[in-house]
Amino acid sequence: MQTITVQLEAVFRKAISKAFGVQADPLIAQAVNEKFGDYQSNAAMGLAKQLATKTGQKTNPRSVAEKITENLELGDIASEISIAGPGFINVRLSGDWLRKQLASIGGDPRLGIETTANPRQVVVDYSGPNVAKEMHVGHIRSTLIGDALARTIEFQGNPVIRQNHLGDWGTQFGMLIAYLDSPDRKTPVDYEVHIYDTLGVNKSENTGTSPQTQVHISDLEEFYRAAKVEFDKVPPFADRAREIVVALQAGDADIVAKWNMIVEASRQHFQPLYLRMGINLSRADERGESFYNPFLAEVVNELKQNRVAVESQGAVVVWVEGFESPLIIQKSGGGFGYPTTDLAAIRFRVQQLGARRIIYVTDARQIQHFKQVFFTARKANWVKDVDLEHVTFGSILGEDGTPFKTRTGGTVKLKDLLDEAHQRAFTLVTEKNPELPESQRQDIARAVGIGGIKYFDLARDRTGDYVFSWEKMLAMDGNTAPYLQYAYARIRSIFRKAGLPRGNHEQIQLQTSHELTLAKHILRLGEVIEVVGRELKPHHLCNYLYELATNFSGFYENCPVLQSPEPTRSSRLGLCEVTARTMAVGLDLLGIEHPEQM
């Protein structure tokens, strides 16, 4: 089923063409004030100017609106059409038409939302933890926003390739491997022998499986800090680390195996966190910096040959319009940096993965970097007919307005944050439903705690900072995940009380203003998903779901369900069913669980 906006646009385009013989955008939008209608066309003013230019005679916008209205063929869509102000055409949707729409979508898992007619291969680059460093609060926004966008774009019918651009290469690995080998190492490391996939540097396919020595590092942060101390204070250790870097870049088998150990040890930390949070990132989605290492020299050479890059003071750079400093793609010593890796990634994603839209989800501090990288890729003609989009976000702040830290001023580990969310939610659930089995309370607490963290982040316009607050995050009222999850659970409890598995959407009758308001809001989900896919801002979906929950609350408080006589009882049960399924689809797109009971 097409969205209401699309259906109205088609009717208005036809009316404009019939009335004036021209093609014009009808500019359909939701009505600003519902007392005038549900949707409005703002086309008359612009069309009046267009006609005046064409005929040389001044045209009154209101008369243009009247003529458009005379030619509208809305059928049973509208119960009322009116003109307000200088020429705004207002449309009030018919209750009978709304009922038919709900009946048509009720049995569809997608709620009648059509997939795009022109799917494009989309790459979404998000999360990107650094190897040998545990994920912390700073990784939350990229991970959650990226996951929600990937889910939404995929739901629209676009094939999505998720890419986790790991920080798994660079000079620091010489230091880490040297420390792993150090007989004086103070940080405990557990060694075990098992069969695992041996991944060579920059290889995407397995080279075979054989028993290998693997390591488990209990505290990655401590391991990294201890290695850094040795590197800074012990010259022989630093010399050995530099030798190892050279050997790693040369593909020394023993050094590569140890590099693999550290990467795998890091994966043992971050992959369980993805699973715990319900993030759709697996090992198959990983393409770290190491993957692109063999392509870097080739990228530089191609940019030089195309005269995109030039030599400057011993380095190879790209001068980007609007920036005083160039983009350095090869250092004077011959080394490569992040810009070269990101350029190699763009080229690979377009040429090998077939991407037609590439979305990068990173903090706002990287705006200049990606502007320069995107400029270079376009100038190199690598991204013809490809959209490059940088999705930026602000910082998470503590109550004092500074970056969110632990009480002692340290970085908040993501694992610790999830643990605390679970514990706080478990206390909340136990207070509300102490009679539930502990295992069930634990499951609900996991969904509520992690859902609370996710939603608190996603419900805000990503471009701004926000203050972290446990109290607001897990509140049972207001625009929070627990409020939405409770709304869903409350609907499901209605069916448990009725002894029914679900409601019959085909029996819906819209008799009151509360039922009409809820029905109209349900049918706007497709429009909201389009906005999220276009603007790449999940908070639009969050706001929609919050309004859905509040509209349902208004309906439930004013329209008795189980106490009503038939056929009203069945009608309202059907409306409850479609509401619950709409809530579930929306929460799924945000990656938030919706327990049947809370």
Q: Answer yes or no: do 257 and 356 share one domain.
A: no
Asked if residue 598 is part of any domain, the answer here is: no
Task: Tell me the Cα Rg of the chain.
Answer: 29
State the pLDDT at residue 212.
62
Are the C-beta atoms of 207 and 199 separated by less than 8 Å? Answer: yes
> Could you tell me if residue 73 is inside a domain?
yes
- DSSP H or E segment with residue 180: helix 172-181
In terms of domains, do 162 and 185 share one? no
Q: Are 430 and 570 part of one and the same domain?
A: yes
Give the domain range for residue 31. Answer: 4-93
Long-range contacts of 225-230 (CB under 8 A, 24+ apart): 226/179, 226/185, 226/186, 226/187, 227/175, 227/176, 227/178, 227/179, 228/175, 230/175, 230/178, 230/179, 230/182
- Indicate whether 159 and 182 sit together in one domain: no
The angle, 0 to 180 degrees and rounded to 10, between the axes of the packed helices 438-458 and 539-558 is: 120
Cβ proximity of 156 and 529 under 8 Å: yes
Low-confidence residues in the chain, pLDDT < 70: 191-213
Q: Is the residue at 469 inside a domain?
A: yes
Is cis: bond before 434, omega within 30 of 0?
Answer: no
Looking at the fold, whether 361 and 423 belong to one and the same domain comes out as: no
115 within some domain: no
Q: Where are the beta strands (DSSP E) in 142-208?
A: 160-163, 189-197
- Contact indicator for 43, 35 with CB cutoff of 8 Å: no
> Do residues 528 and 544 touch, judged by C-beta distance below 8 A?
yes
Q: Which of 259, 285, 311 is the last residue of a domain?
A: 285
- Strand locations in 379-422 (E): 387-393, 396-397
Q: Among the residues of 234-366, which ranges form H helices?
A: 235-249, 253-277, 289-292, 296-305, 338-351
CA distance 516 to 98: 8
66: domain CATH number? 3.30.1360.70
In a domain, 597, yes or no: no
User: Do residue 580 and residue 464 come from a single domain?
Assistant: yes
Are 505 and 434 within one domain?
yes
Work out the number of other CB atoms within 10 angstroms of the CB of residue 365: 9
| Total number of domains in the chain | 4
pLDDT in tens, 122-131: 999 999 999 8
Measure CA of the first residue to CA of the last residue in the chain; give whole Å: 33
Clarify whether residues 55 and 204 are in a common domain.
no
> Tokens for 387?
């959209």
Alpha-carbon gap, residue 561 to 495, rounded angstroms: 10
Q: Report the CATH number that the domain containing residue 554 is assigned in CATH.
A: 1.10.730.10
582 and 440 inside one domain: yes
Asked which of 93, 111, 130 is the last residue of a domain, the reply is: 93
Domain presence at residue 511: yes
Q: What share of the chain is helix, strand, coil (3-state, %, to 5)?
A: 50, 15, 35
Check which CATH number belongs to the domain holding 365 and give it. Answer: 3.40.50.620
Domain annotation covers residue 595: no
Q: Of 285, 316, 331, at which residue does a domain stop?
A: 285
- Beta strands (DSSP E) in 110-172 are 122-125, 160-163
Position 145, amino acid? I
| 196-252 tens-digit pLDDT | 443 344 444 444 445 566 777 778 888 898 999 999 999 999 999 999 999 998 889
**Residue 484 and residue 455: Cα distance in Å, rounded?**
10
Q: Same domain, yes or no, for 510 and 444?
A: yes
d(CA 541, CA 582): 12
Kindly report the number of other CB atoms within 10 A of residue 415's CB atom. 16
**Predicted pLDDT at 221:** 83
In 3D space, the residue among 522, 587, 510 whose CA is nearest the CA of residue 551 turns out to be 522
Inside any domain, residue 531: yes
* 340, two tokens: 């070269």
User: Among 287, 382, 379, 303, which residue's Cα sits nearest to residue 340?
Assistant: 303
CA distance 494 to 484: 16
Token output for 314: 């011993």
Q: Cα 61 from chain centroid?
A: 41
CA of 555: how far to CAs of 438, 481, 550, in Å?
Answer: 33, 20, 9
276 and 240 together in one domain: yes
Scanning 306-459, the segments in alpha helix (DSSP H) are 338-351, 367-379, 414-432, 438-458
Element (H, E) at 582: helix 568-590
